């Protein structure tokens, strides 16, 4: 790892941490940069990114608990399908070739970016899902999170907000669920040697700083700076990953 690579990856983690604190989708930037500027194979970038995500969500869970909000009780009913889905998704995606992963991830970046630019709204009518519906929905979210992770927080918040949770509690549940999801998915990538620990440490530093800044500082107009950077970066990186240039 060169000094330039380290600086770029820390910066990406910083921006991603802030973006994740505001809404989500920061991993779109970090996975792509680990692949393109870090010269990591796509699958290794995907696994390495999970370390930073775990660090950020540990801090986020602690932050919510200090604020008197715990996502544990509300998250418990969906943990089993999330865990099963995350293990399944991580096993499937880690068996792909890096080239195929990069192409799939590049295609996924654009719709997830669109979702990140449309923050979820709380449903005015609470939807009571049947148990089987709940299991299917959250198993599917677990599969996606275990496989790709990027944007899974956005998808979770949409599902939780549709069930009637306010956004504060939905985000508290989200960070706890993502922490659990990552806890079960990450070992698959470690066992298959798809984590670069040097880049993981540097990225985790950026994620931690970004998460702290995003959680602590609500600067008016801050998103007007971060969002254009995210849009331009993600679109360019997505085109690069799918081979347009």
For the chain, what are the domain ranges?
3-241
- 38 vs 234, higher pLDDT: 38
> Virtual CA dihedral for 203, 168, 160, 207, nearest 10 degrees?
0
- pLDDT per residue as tens digits for the range 193-215: 999 999 999 998 888 887 666 65
Q: Collapse the DSSP code of 92 into the 3-class scheme (helix H, G, I; strand E, B; otherwise coil) and give the result.
A: helix
Q: Collapse the DSSP code of 123 into the 3-class scheme (helix H, G, I; strand E, B; otherwise coil) and give the result.
A: coil
pLDDT reported for residue 190: 95
- pLDDT per residue as tens digits for the range 6-25: 888 888 888 887 777 666 67
Q: What is the DSSP letter of 109?
A: H
Q: How many CB atoms lie within 10 A of CB 164?
A: 15
pTM of the entire predicted model? 0.81
- pLDDT per residue as tens digits for the range 22-62: 666 778 888 888 888 888 998 999 999 999 888 888 877 77
- pLDDT per residue as tens digits for the range 87-137: 999 999 999 888 888 888 888 877 877 776 666 555 555 556 677 877 888
Range in 29-33, 61-65, 186-190, 213-217 the model is least confident about: 213-217
- Cα separation, 94 vs 47, in Å, equals 9
Has residue 85 got a pLDDT over 90? yes
pLDDT reported for residue 98: 86
Q: How many CB atoms lie within 10 A of CB 10?
A: 18
pLDDT reported for residue 244: 61
pLDDT reported for residue 220: 45
Has residue 219 got a pLDDT over 50? no
- pLDDT per residue as tens digits for the range 138-183: 899 999 999 988 888 878 877 777 766 666 667 777 888 888 899 9
pLDDT reported for residue 223: 53
pLDDT reported for residue 233: 62
- Cα separation, 57 vs 221, in Å, equals 25
- Cα separation, 114 vs 25, in Å, equals 10
Tally of CA atoms within 13 A in the half-sphere of 196 that contains its CB: 20
DSSP assignment of 159-204, as one string?
HHHHTT--HHHHHHHHHHHHHHHHHHHHHHHHHTT---HHHHHHHH
């Amino acid at each position: 790892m060169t000094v330039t690579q380290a600086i770029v990856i820390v910066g990406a983690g910083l921006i991603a941490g802030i973006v994740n604190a505001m809404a989500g989708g920061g991993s779109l930037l970090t996975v792509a940069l680990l692949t393109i500027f870090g010269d990591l194979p796509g699958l290794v970038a995907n696994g390495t990114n999970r370390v930073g995500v775990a660090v950020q969500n540990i801090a986020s869970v602690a932050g919510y608990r200090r604020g008197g909000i715990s996502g544990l009780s509300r998250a418990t009913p969906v943990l089993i399908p999330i865990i099963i889905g995350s293990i399944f998704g991580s096993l499937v995606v880690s068996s792909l070739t890096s080239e195929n992963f990069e192409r799939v991830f590049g295609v996924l970046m654009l719709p997830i970016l669109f979702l990140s630019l449309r923050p979820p709204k709380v449903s005015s009518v609470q939807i009571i899902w049947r148990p089987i519906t709940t299991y299917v929905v959250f198993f599917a979210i677990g599969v996606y999170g275990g496989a790709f992770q990027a944007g899974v927080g956005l998808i979770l918040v949409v599902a939780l907000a549709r069930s009637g949770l306010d956004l504060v509690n939905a985000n508290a549940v989200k960070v706890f669920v993502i922490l659990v999801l990552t806890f079960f998915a990450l070992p698959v990538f470690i066992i298959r040697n798809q984590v670069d620990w040097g880049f993981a440490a540097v990225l985790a530093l950026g994620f931690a700083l970004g998460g702290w800044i995003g959680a602590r500082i609500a600067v008016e107009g801050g998103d007007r700076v971060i969002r254009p950077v995210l849009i331009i970066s993600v679109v360019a990186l997505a085109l690069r990953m799918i081979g347009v240039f």
